[in-house]
Amino acid sequence: MNRAIVTNFDGIGPEDEVIITNFQPYIRKAESGVLGTKRFAIFDGTKRALARAFGNEGRNSSAFSFETRWLELGSGLHPDIPYILKGGTVGGVAATNRRSSAFRAGRTTLAPRRDRQTGMPITYPSVVINQV
């Protein structure tokens, strides 16, 4: 709730934003489908289940809005947050056709993504709940 861990659920007010996330670094791979799970199954599935349970499933009026977002969570929420990338990442293999700008430039690999550089904190898949 408002980027603090909730221990008293009665203390959640109508103006508060509730975020459900998993602090483990592997959750990014699981949510993106790399670990064999269906892509976006975990947090989007949670969002759909919450919407079914609390009335935001195609009806005109609902009490809550549910949204799946990738968030940068700062330190202080949990000892393992934020996870800092260790390094050793290499860009992927460039496609070998004229549509690939890396191939046209004579490179065989893609440039590493700027958001995955060594020392950068990762983003966490999350379900964000707000009262409407």
Answer yes or no: is 63 within a domain.
yes
Answer yes or no: is 30 within a domain.
yes
Count of domains forming the chain: 1
85 CB neighbour count, 10 Å cutoff:
16
pLDDT tens digits, residue range 35-47?
877 777 888 888 8
pLDDT tens digits, residue range 51-67?
888 765 655 557 788 89
Structure tokens at 82: 């934020």
pLDDT for the residue numbered 53: 83
66 CB neighbour count, 10 Å cutoff:
21
More confident residue, 123 or 119: 123
Which structural domain, as residue segments, surrounds residue 63?
A: 9-131
What is the C-alpha to C-alpha distance for residues 90 and 25, in angstroms, rounded to an integer? 18
Answer yes or no: is 4 within a domain.
no
What is the C-alpha to C-alpha distance for residues 81 and 24, in angstroms, rounded to an integer? 9
The reported pTM is 0.66
Answer yes or no: is 2 within a domain.
no
pLDDT for the residue numbered 56: 59
pLDDT above 80 for 5: no
Answer yes or no: is 44 within a domain.
yes
pLDDT for the residue numbered 33: 78
12 neighbors 20 (Cβ within 8 angstroms): no
Which among 63, 59, 81 has a CA at the least distance from the CA of 14? 63
pLDDT tens digits, residue range 77-114?
777 777 777 766 566 777 888 888 888 888 888 776 66
DSSP per-residue string spanning 90-130: ---BPPSSTT-HHHHTT-SBPPPPGGG-TTPBPPEEEEEEE
pLDDT for the residue numbered 87: 66
